[in-house]
C-alpha cells in the first residue's frame, strides 16, 4: 500500500514535469535525459519565488513576464506570432523556463539583445536566452536619471533604493560593455570578460539543463576546480597582501569594507543610520535610534529614506556585486573596480583617503 502510493506520487510528478517541460510544443518527443537534468534546476522549480510570486494575482504583468515565464520570453521576441516587444497582456501563472525558451526555432534569429542601459548588445547562440533574463533591470543610466540635478550629499526624500534585481550574471559578465553597474564618470571599466575558449559563454561553463558547473571545466587551465580558490592576479586588492587566496576573498573583503563605509556615511552625512536586511524588499531600512535594528511603523520596518545621490550610487554597486553569486568568475575585475570606486567616493565625502584597497 505504502509502496503503491509512493509510485503513484512519483508518476504524478513525472507527468507534471513532462507537461510543464514540453511547454508550447506538445509534438516534441521529450528527451528523458535532458528533462531529468532540467527538472533538478531552478529553471524548473515552479514553487520558487521566481515563479510563484504572482500566484495570488493569477497573472504576471507583461514587464515581469519576459524573464519569469517561457511564454513571456517567447512573446518578447515575437516567437508566438505577436509583435516583438513586451506582451500585450499579462501572462497566466504556472509557467517556468521551459524547453522552448531555449529551443524555440526562432532563437538563432536573435542576434542582439536590449540591455537596461538602452544599448543593444550582440549575442551568439544560447547566450541570447541567458543574457536576456540574467541582465538585471537597472544600469548607470537608471541611477543618473534618478539623481538628475540633485547635489551629491544632499538628502533627497524623492529618492528610494534602486535594486539591480537578482542573479545578474550577464550584467557582470558584460562589465563596461553593458554599464549595468554604476560606473563613475572618468573611470575605465573592465569590458566583457571573454575569459578563454571554451569558457567564454554561459554554456561553456554551465550545463544548460541542470545549470551546474563541473569542476573539471576549470581544472584544464587552473590549479583548482574550486572557483573560490582560483587566483591569477599578482596584486592584492584587499590590502591583506595574501596572494594565496582566491580572487573571491578579495571581493568579499572589499565588499564588507564598502558596507562599513556606507553605514558610516549614512550616520554621519545623511544623518540617519541605515541597516540592511537581505530578506526584505527594499533591503535598506532606517535606524534612527542606532540600535542596529530597523525602525518599526505599524508593525513593519521603515524603508531607508535619507538617500543622497552619493549614497544611492555606492549602495547600488554594493548590492550589484552581491546579486551575482558567480561574479568572481563572471567578471572579478569589474566587481573590484565598482567596489573600489564606490569606496573611494564615500571616503572622499568622509574626508579621508582610501587606504589598503586597490583597483
Grid coordinates given for 38: 532540467
Reading phi first (left if > 0) and then psi (alpha if -120 to 50, else beta), residue 358 is in: beta
| Contacting range for ligand HEC; rule: CB under 6 A; set: 77-85, 193-201, 285-293, 340-348 | 193-201
Nearer to ligand HEC, 141 or 155 (CB): 141
Lookup result for grid cell 517567447: 74
Spatial contact of 60 and 228, defined as CB atoms under 8 Å apart: no
Contact at 8 Å (CB) between 257 and 264? no
Pick the binder of ligand HEC from 13, 55, 151, 220 (CB under 6 A).
220
Q: Phi then psi for 248, rounded to 5 degrees?
A: -50, -45
Asked if 63 is part of the footprint of ligand HEC (rule: CB under 6 A), the reply reads yes
Buried b (16+ CB within 10 A) or exposed e, 185-201: eeeebbebbebeeebeb
Where does this chain touch ligand HEC (CB under 6 A) — which range of 228-236, 253-261, 314-322, 345-353? 228-236
Q: Compute the distance between CA of residue 350 and CA of residue 268 in angstroms, rounded to an integer.
A: 8
Q: Rule CB under 6 A: say whether 104 interacts with ligand HEC.
A: no
62 forms part of the interface with ligand HEC (CB under 6 A): no
The correct pick among 74, 104, 257, 328 for binding ligand HEC (CB under 6 A) is 328
Candidates 74, 231, 255, 310: give the one binding ligand HEC (CB under 6 A).
231
In 10 A of CB 318, how many CB atoms? Answer: 25
Q: How far apart are CA 12 and CA 6, in angstroms?
A: 10
325 binds ligand HEC (CB under 6 A): yes
**Contact flag: residue 216 with ligand HEC (CB under 6 A):** no
Quick note: the x/- pattern for ligand HEC over 80-99, rule CB under 6 A, is -----------------x-x
Residues 20, 82, 165, 196: is their CA dihedral positive or negative? positive
Taking the complex as a whole, how short is the minimal distance between the CB of residue 223 and ligand HEC, in angstroms? 11
Q: Give residues 329-348 in contact with ligand HEC (rule: CB under 6 A).
A: 329-330, 332
Q: Counting contacts by CB under 6 A, is residue 113 touching ligand HEC? A: no
- For residues 146 and 159, the answer to whether their CB atoms sit within 8 Å is yes
Task: Provide, rounded to whole angstroms, the least separation between the CB of residue 323 and ligand HEC.
Answer: 8
**Would you say 81 and 107 are in contact if contact means Cβ atoms under 8 Å apart?**
no
Of 67 and 346, which has the nearer Cβ to ligand HEC? Answer: 67
Residue 224 CB, nearest distance to ligand HEC (Å)? Answer: 9
Residue 217 contacts ligand HEC per CB under 6 A: yes
CB 60 within 8 A of CB 67: no
Asked if residue 211 binds ligand HEC (CB under 6 A), the reply is yes
Q: Which is nearer to ligand HEC, 255 or 310 (CB)?
A: 255
Amino acid at each position: 500500500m505504502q509502496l503503491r502510493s509512493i509510485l503513484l506520487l512519483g508518476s504524478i510528478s513525472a507527468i507534471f514535469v513532462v507537461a510543464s517541460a514540453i511547454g508550447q510544443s506538445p509534438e516534441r518527443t521529450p528527451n528523458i535525459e535532458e528533462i531529468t537534468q532540467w527538472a533538478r534546476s531552478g529553471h524548473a522549480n515552479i514553487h520558487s519565488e521566481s515563479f510563484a510570486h504572482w500566484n495570488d494575482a493569477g497573472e504576471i504583468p507583461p514587464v515581469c513576464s519576459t524573464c519569469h515565464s517561457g511564454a513571456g520570453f517567447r512573446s518578447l521576441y515575437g516567437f508566438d506570432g505577436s509583435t516583438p516587444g513586451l506582451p500585450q497582456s499579462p501572462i497566466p501563472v504556472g509557467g517556468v523556463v521551459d524547453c522552448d525558451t531555449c529551443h524555440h526555432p526562432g532563437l538563432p534569429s536573435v542576434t542582439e539583445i536590449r540591455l537596461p542601459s538602452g544599448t543593444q548588445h550582440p549575442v551568439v547562440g544560447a547566450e541570447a536566452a541567458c543574457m536576456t533574463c540574467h541582465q538585471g533591470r537597472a544600469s548607470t543610466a537608471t541611477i543618473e536619471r534618478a539623481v538628475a540635478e540633485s547635489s551629491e550629499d544632499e538628502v533627497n526624500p524623492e529618492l528610494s533604493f534602486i535594486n539591480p534585481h537578482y542573479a545578474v550574471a550577464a550584467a557582470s559578465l558584460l562589465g563596461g560593455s553593458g554599464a549595468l553597474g554604476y560606473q563613475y564618470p572618468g573611470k575605465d571599466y573592465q569590458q566583457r570578460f571573454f575569459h578563454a575558449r571554451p569558457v567564454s559563454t554561459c554554456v561553456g561553463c554551465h550545463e544548460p539543463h541542470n545549470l551546474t558547473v563541473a569542476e573539471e571545466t576549470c581544472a584544464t587551465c587552473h590549479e583548482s576546480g574550486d572557483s573560490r580558490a582560483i587566483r591569477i592576479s599578482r596584486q592584492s586588492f584587499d590590502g591583506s597582501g595574501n596572494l594565496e587566496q582566491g580572487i573571491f576573498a578579495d571581493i568579499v573583503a572589499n565588499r564588507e569594507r564598502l558596507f562599513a563605509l556606507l553605514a558610516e556615511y549614512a550616520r554621519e552625512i545623511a544623518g540617519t543610520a541605515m541597516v540592511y536586511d537581505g530578506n526584505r524588499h527594499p533591503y535598506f531600512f532606517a535606524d534612527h535610534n542606532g540600535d542596529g535594528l530597523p525602525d518599526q511603523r505599524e508593525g513593519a520596518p521603515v524603508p531607508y529614506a535619507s538617500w543622497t545621490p552619493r549614497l544611492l550610487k555606492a549602495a547600488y554597486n554594493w548590492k550589484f556585486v552581491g546579486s551575482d553569486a558567480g561574479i568572481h568568475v563572471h567578471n572579478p575585475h569589474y566587481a573590484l573596480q565598482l567596489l573600489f570606486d564606490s569606496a573611494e567616493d564615500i571616503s572622499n565625502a568622509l574626508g579621508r583617503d582610501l587606504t589598503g584597497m586597490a583597483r
